[in-house]
Amino acid sequence: MSNKMWGGRFGEGPDRIMEEINASIGFDQRFFAQDIRGSKAHAAMLAEKGIISREDADKIVAGLDAVLSEIEGGKFDFRRDLEDIHMNVESRLADLIGAAAGRLHTARSRNDQVATDFKLYIRDTLDHLDEQLRDFQLALVARAQEHAATIMPGFTHLQTAQPVTFGHHCLAYVEMAARDRGRLADARKRLNECPLGSAALAGTSFPIDRHMTAKALGFDAPTRNSLDAVSDRDFVLETLSAAAIAATHLSRLAEEIVIWSTPGFDFVRLPDSFTTGSSIMPQKRNPDAAELVRAKSGRVIGALTSLLIVMKGLPLAYSKDMQEDKEAAFDALDALSLSLAAMTGMVRTLTVNETAMRAAASRGFSTATDLADWLVRALGLPFRQAHHVTGALVAKAEKKGADLDALSLAEMQEVEPGITDEVYSVLGVDNSVASRTSFGGTAPENVREAAKRWGEALGQAGQ
Ligand code: ARG
């Protein structure tokens, strides 16, 4: 049998393989709610403009509500021979209300319909991701408040560089998440124009009111060019690119958690609820959730790349290639959402080993810069020379197998005779972090202040 929705000029039905490659119902059924919402708005507008009768529109709207409850109740039979969600819904509507169903598709096409549905779906997803990113920020802010003065080594090249506070480190990710939210909000703002009524590609001869449907669906305005409206997928690309950046941020934190929880570092311990054991090595506590967050960023980046490749060669307007926009986007946005939930859970529940962090911060000559700065301040040396003197002192300490503050004053004076015992006050890690009071620096007082500001900005409970 030929397709009952578009089979008018076809003598026979599609090959089984044709049906399989053509159908999208397996994945686009996910936006049934958006599809029905769009159709209801369209029917109401058609009646308002006298294009269909009020009576038919009422039947259509009631019928669509019935289809919606069937789907929500798990009582809907999704049929692959009906290709996609649009035709599945419309066909079932015809079963339920008869001939009036055939009037719903007046002055629209699946091309503007799918663009509208997908925009509505992406918009809902962006709103959800924004809430999740806020939760992630709140979890980090709470840890930053708790650990404003907890000292850990700061790294460059993953080599101990200078002591920082764990709170400061947490707030670094709060800043990244804020920019991620900004990018998602930006994508949302730009996508919020309604394609419905652009029809197949050229608009329609029916006297529709596109402003009315745009408004009913919560869009700021109708799109201005019908060709663009049905062939635009930059709203998906933009969302995926913001998602890829957010996933990359999560992946970096995941990598840090993996490193920090190895026995070699022992900075943090994940709770049992976020680790797994090994079937052969009883001592293992594997940070699987963090590893998977790190890995899932690959899916998000991959989805962005594959959709860019799908789109890059397509002439205007719609081509069926564009049906391939959905699976990768769904997969990527699901992965990001799950990663955010897992990462927020880990941040909330990990235990911080302050002793191990402090001990590591004290090793590796992490206060060498403080020493050089002191030589500049107290002895008036030019920084380059102070750097050189400090280098010589580090070499001496290294030879002795000790830290800088284990050098005696006499040993220091062999390198630079002007050094006094005041120098020891800058060699401790507490003094080092406390002195970093420049705007954006790691000093505990800065961190407390920044965490408080973030708590207020995010509407943290108890602020
Ligand atoms: N399932 C299709 C998609 O996802 C809907 C649009 C079909 N349009 C068409 N002209 N065949 O892209």
Residue nearest to ligand 1 atom 10, measured at CA = 111
d(CA 303, CA 173): 24
DSSP E strand stretches across 66-158: 151-156
Q: pLDDT band at 103, cuts 50/70/90?
A: very high
Give the least confident one: 116-125, 183-192, 276-285, 299-308: 276-285
- Per-residue pLDDT at 250: 98
What's the residue count for the chain? 463
Per-residue pLDDT, averaged over 25-33, amounts to 97
Higher pLDDT, 426 or 118: 118
What totals of helices (H) and strands (E) does the chain contain, helices first?
Answer: 19, 6
Q: For residue 194, what are the β-bridge partners?
A: 222
Evaluate: CB of 111 within 6 angstroms of ligand 1.
Answer: yes
Residue having the nearest C-alpha atom to atom 2 of ligand 1 = 323
Buried b (16+ CB within 10 A) or exposed e, 90-107: bbbbbebbeebbebbbbb
pLDDT of 208 strictly over 80: yes
pLDDT for res 7 = 77
Does residue 235 sit in helix, strand or coil? helix
Sign of CA dihedral 158, 164, 167, 173: negative
| Contact in structure between 261 and 268 (CB atoms under 8 Å) | yes
- Token reading at 97: 């209300």
- Assess whether pLDDT exceeds 70 at residue 162: yes
Over residues 454-458, mean pLDDT: 97
Cα 204 to averaged position of ligand 1 atoms, centre (Å): 18
- Ligand 1 centroid to Cα of residue 297, in Å, is 29
- Alpha carbon of 369 to ligand 1 centroid (Å): 62
Whole-angstrom Cα distance, residue 327 to residue 346? 28
Taking the alpha carbons at both ends of the chain, their separation in whole angstroms is 66
Q: Please identify every residue annotated as catalytic.
A: 157, 278
Angle between helices 166-191 and 110-146 (to 10 degrees): 160
Nearest residue CA, atom 12 of ligand 1? 323
pLDDT of residue 4: 72
Q: Is the pLDDT of residue 441 over 80?
A: yes
Write the pLDDT tens digit of every residue in 359-390.
999 888 888 999 999 999 999 999 999 999 99
Judge residue 451's burial from the number of C-beta atoms within 10 Å of its C-beta, 0-12 exposed, 13-18 middle, 19 or more buried: buried
As a whole number, mean pLDDT of residues 155-175 equals 96
Average pLDDT over residues 7-30: 89
Which residues face 193 on adjacent strands?
221
Q: In the prediction, which pLDDT does 81 show?
A: 95
Average pLDDT score over the chain? 95
Mean pLDDT across the stretch 149-166?
96
pLDDT of residue 463: 62
User: In the numeric block, which tokens belong to residue 374?
Assistant: 């002191």
Tokens of 176: 């990244």
For ligand 1, atom 7, the nearest C-alpha belongs to: 110
The Å distance, Cα 197 to ligand 1 centre, comes to 15
Phi, psi (5° rounding) for residue 194?
Answer: -90, 120
Identify the CA nearest to 296 among candidates 259, 261, 325, 255: 255
Phi, psi of 155 (to 5 degrees): -115, 150
User: Could you give the dihedral angle defined by the CA atoms of residues 442, 444, 445 and 451, in that order, rounded to the nearest 10 degrees?
Assistant: 80
The C-alpha atoms of residue 430 and residue 94 are separated, in whole angstroms, by 74
Strand runs (DSSP E) across 124-167, as ranges?
Answer: 151-156, 159-165
The C-alpha atoms of residue 188 and residue 235 are separated, in whole angstroms, by: 8
User: Span 236-252, mean pLDDT?
Assistant: 98
Helix 444-457, helix 166-191: angle, nearest 10:
30
pTM for the structure as a whole: 0.93
Ligand 1 close to Cβ of residue 297 (< 6 A)? no
Whether ligand 1 lies within 6 angstroms of the CB of 323 is answered as yes
318 lines ligand 1 (CB under 6 A): yes
pLDDT exceeds cutoff 90 at 100? yes
CA distance 312 to 237: 11
What distance in Å separates the CA atoms of residue 98 and residue 2, rounded to the nearest whole number?
20
Closest Cα partner for 53 from 21, 99, 17?
99
pLDDT for 282: 73
Q: What is the mean pLDDT of residues 215-228?
A: 98
Six-digit token string for 347: 């941040």
pLDDT digits (tens, 9 = 90+) for 57-66: 999 999 999 9
Tokens 């402090």, located at residue: 358
